[in-house]
Structure 1
């Protein structure tokens, strides 16, 4: 994996506007995983995709993650700082997984980006995603279909899929210093990274505006400068 340049990240952000999240993820990975074809990237399990987005984030923004959260117990607004190491998890070793319960046997694969395209909105999305990943279903050795599963079995299967690759549903351990409440919050690396990238782009464009206006440099010239040099020149202008 290579870390995209500032100019590449700016272009990726522009391309990702008004695109669904799963497309944004592929845009980012295509810039970082130059040795993989688009089709291979789309077939990465979502947990593996998110693990690679974590590494991309570490390379571009660093290993420390900072965010805000509200304590569900007392409502206190908390500033959270944690390391990417805390949410780095191993992935499954098998490509085909097996769920067994009371004579029911279901083999399935983990969902990938191709499964996200065309998902129905609302609560039916999870069921549709699950059904797309099923490979074979038998009950007491007799072939069955997804429609034959009851609600409890569907819920258990969804839980089994989540446990099979926790990287697709990362959790961060939280602690409120005000009331001492502890909980786990879902950490969406794609949403977090895109929001972080958007804030970075806005800051970057201000820097480009200031330096281009002051020195007459082209945008590409400003973007080619390391961040510390851009900040140094801006500091000179303010002194």
Structure 2
């Protein structure tokens, strides 16, 4: 049976940018190695498994590398929403030295749904109107190589790569990016993609003061999917030992049926 698909962002069907299925609904999901590094490779594998792109996009497995980092994060949000429901949990610690209490947060996934842009216009300090494109999955691969080769220049290299044109004209080869532009370019990109470097303000339940919490949303979602895979592996082990079913047969069962079988097993073994 074909897995159910979730439209994202939520809202009118005609506004949806993508359709996704839940993770752990197909036996191939068991092959995902969550220890894979770098992280962008792991995220790309998850997206390639669970995202069904719009019909005008060729599903060649490489489409996720052509998406911007913002769109990739939206896809990961959609997969998490389809897999675990509308909420996810995060834990932080109060940053006040005299407190340090543990702060638990309930985050609504749909609250992070955005229609992302592919590029942003930015006025440079010298008055030029620059067109900056958001980094794509493929840029992450090249940036990783730059980090290995010349970590001090990697940020400069990426910023230069993302400048498409100035005053409507493509950047000439050999053009050198002024170092003083790096910080404002980073700010402009963060404003266009606010979730990649997400900061939330919460109230500490212990001291009652506000706390700024930096949230690595991508890592948070990846870890939630890792937990789902672990739970499914545990369920497969228990059912396979007692019923001698294959992985594919067990994964094909709806979750509610797996829970019912497991409940019966627990009752029999009690």
TM-score greater than 0.5 by the shorter chain: yes
Q: Does 1:19 align with 2:44?
A: no
Q: Does 1:83 align with 2:103?
A: no
Q: Does 1:49 align with 2:72?
A: yes
- Residues 1-239 of structure 1: pairs in structure 2 closer than 5 A: 1-4=19-22, 5-11=25-31, 13-14=32-33, 17-35=35-53, 36=57, 37=59, 38-73=61-96, 74-92=99-117, 95=119, 97-119=121-143, 120=147, 124-137=153-166, 147-151=176-180, 153-239=181-267
Query: Which piece of structure 1 moves more, 73-82 or 35-44?
Result: 35-44
> What's the offset of the Cα at 1:58?
0.3
Helix, strand or coil for the counterpart of 1:89?
A: coil
Return the alpha-carbon distance in structure 2 between the equivalents of residues 80 and 7 of structure 1. 32
Cα distance per residue 1:22-48 (max 9 Å; x no partner): 122221222233344334322211111
CA contact (8 A) 1:51 1:167 kept: no
Return the alpha-carbon distance in structure 2 between the equivalents of residues 112 and 63 of structure 1. 27
Return the alpha-carbon distance in structure 2 between the equivalents of residues 222 and 148 of structure 1. 56
Helix, strand or coil for the counterpart of 2:119?
A: coil
- Counterparts in 2 of 1:161 and 1:99: CA distance versus 1, 3 Å: farther
Structure 1: runs of 5 or more not aligned: none
User: What TM-score do you get using the length of structure 1 for normalisation?
Assistant: 0.83
Return the alpha-carbon distance in structure 2 between the equivalents of residues 124 and 175 of structure 1. 38
Return the alpha-carbon distance in structure 1 between the equivalents of residues 199 and 110 of structure 2. 12
Return the alpha-carbon distance in structure 1 between the equivalents of residues 153 and 254 of structure 2. 47
> What's the offset of the Cα at 1:96?
5.1
> What's the offset of the Cα at 1:171?
3.4
Determine which structure has the larger helix proportion and give its number: 1
Helix, strand or coil for the counterpart of 2:189?
A: helix
- How many residues are aligned here? 232
Return the alpha-carbon distance in structure 1 between the equivalents of residues 210 and 131 of structure 2. 36
> What's the offset of the Cα at 1:145?
6.6
Structure 2: runs of 5 or more not aligned: 1-18
Return the alpha-carbon distance in structure 1 between the equivalents of residues 210 and 112 of structure 2. 17
